[in-house]
Amino acid sequence: MGYDFDLFTLGAGSGGVAASRRAGSYGARVAIAEGSRVGGTCVLRGCVPKKLLVYGSHFRDEIEDARGFGWTVGEVTFDWRKLVEAKNKELDRLSGIYVRMLHDAGVKILEGRATLVDSHTVEVLGERHTARQILIATGGWPVLPPIPGIEHAITSNEALDLPSLPRRVVIVGGGYVAVEFAGIFNAAGADVKVLVRADAVLRGFDQDLRSTLGEQMRKRGVDVRCETIVRSLEKEPDGTISVRLAGGELLEADAVLYATGRAPNTRGLGLEEVGVKTDEGGAVVVDDQSRTSVPGIYAVGDVTDRINLTPVAIAEGRAFAESVFHARPMQMDHEGIPSAVFSQPPCATVGLTEVEARAKGRPIDVYRARFRPMKHTLSGRDEQTMMKLVVDRESDRVLGAHMVGADAPEIIQGLAIALKCGATKAQLDATVGIHPTAAEEFVTMRDPVPEPHGHPAL
């Protein structure tokens, strides 16, 4: 049977574009369908715009710190609208680059949301197309809980495009989106409250990282409230939003941002009708080759809810293209993936947390350093950096590295390479540090912290 295309990709985000470009470069006839703009979550609604807003808001720190270094700074004003406009201009540029890259690889772009008709047929805006292989890369989308008044809340999508800076912001959630926007809005001058259901921010991260970040956020004036549950929202006639907590307390806000999670963007794709298996959360179930339950249909990126990070989606997409269109079988290695949170201060991590390492039942050593960054000896800022290593005692292999503080993402990227290569603590000790830097602390930690009570053997 002749097909219209060798590959039809649903979704032009990071994973879909990476797979389509590479398949096209190997001579495949490729089409990609996108119901929104080309670029996906990372470029348009996530990593890139968020990091630009982080950069913009961080100038407040730089201006304040400059006085300690002899600079006299005059009257300072901040225009939120100008920052958002500049951000949008950059997103337009990046989306255009993605479109051009697809065109250069010979990929046909179809504007419209695609749905599956059968294992080799998709439909876009009423027109059907056949393909030998189909790739689902539709990503994820923020979800809102069904509480009274939830229609008055915004998600990260809308938060990136607010026309003006809200004076009072309540952020519900304690994950990376919540703490990143807390830093942005706080530094921009808003009054920020973060309501966390758990006992600390960043559930799933190392406990020392979690507690350190919560402490530093509070020092910056963010009101972080843990073990707090929201019951309802109500909009007042003057536009104020009342947030009712489980204990009955009422908070007032000009904007309520819900950052309580994302769900795979699979609704209405026709997966069930075609027989593509999904889990209870709606994620497409795949094997280690990104194959779904239907032969010829694959899925990569956040829609599979494996590790929801842009570089992971790109790597999964490339492995798919290499395997299917280049006769070079590859699979994504999901072990030892580093990640960062662009909070203020930022955090980064790679490998096992202390709790995860202890759960394996092998003796470990933990090394931890806390210090005031050299910059702040003159700036006067009350901020601490925390660095931590988790080491397997018997093999001396470094199992995890965690950091809160300036440049944490840049520093952990290098350590991620070391961990991927199986670095030992002795090898870190034998590495000469670059002085004076914060990063050198990772190669100068000599004494493990005392064993916590209750873990004498581990």
Secondary structure (DSSP) of 63-112: HHHHGGGT---------HHHHHHHHHHHHHHHHHHHHHHHHHTTPEEEES
Place of tokens 């100008």: 82
pTM of model > 0.75: yes
Question: Is 58 a residue of the active site?
Answer: no
CA angle 152, 198, 303 (to 5 degrees): 65
What three-state secondary structure class fits 388?
Answer: strand
What three-state secondary structure class fits 440?
Answer: helix
Determine which one of 120, 326, 334, 435 is catalytic. 435
- Could you name the CATH architecture of 345-443? 2-Layer Sandwich (3.30)
Domain with CATH 3.30.390.30 in the chain: 345-443
Domain with CATH 3.50.50.60 in the chain: 5-142+263-325, 150-260
Q: What is the pLDDT along the chain (458 residues), one digit of tens a residue?
A: 699 999 999 999 999 999 999 999 999 999 999 999 999 999 999 999 999 999 999 999 999 999 999 999 999 999 999 999 999 999 999 999 999 999 999 999 999 999 999 999 999 999 999 999 999 999 999 999 999 999 999 999 999 999 999 999 999 999 999 999 999 999 999 999 999 999 999 999 999 999 999 999 999 999 999 999 999 999 999 999 999 999 999 999 999 999 999 999 999 999 999 999 999 999 999 999 999 999 999 999 999 999 999 999 999 999 999 999 999 999 999 999 999 999 999 999 999 999 999 999 999 999 999 999 999 999 999 999 999 999 999 999 999 999 999 999 999 999 999 999 999 999 999 999 999 999 999 999 999 999 876 554 44
Rounded Cα–Cα distance for residues 99 and 281 (Å): 31
Residue 243 sits at φ, ψ, to 5 deg, of -110, 115
CATH 2.60.40.10 applies to domain 150-260 = no
pLDDT value of residue 1: 67
Evaluated on CA atoms 382, 67, 412, 177, the torsion sign reads: positive
pLDDT value of residue 455: 54
CATH, domain 5-142+263-325, list 2.40.30.30, 3.50.50.60, 3.40.50.720, 3.30.70.100: 3.50.50.60
Beta bridge mates, 250: 244
pLDDT value of residue 457: 43
Rounded Cα–Cα distance for residues 5 and 21 (Å): 14
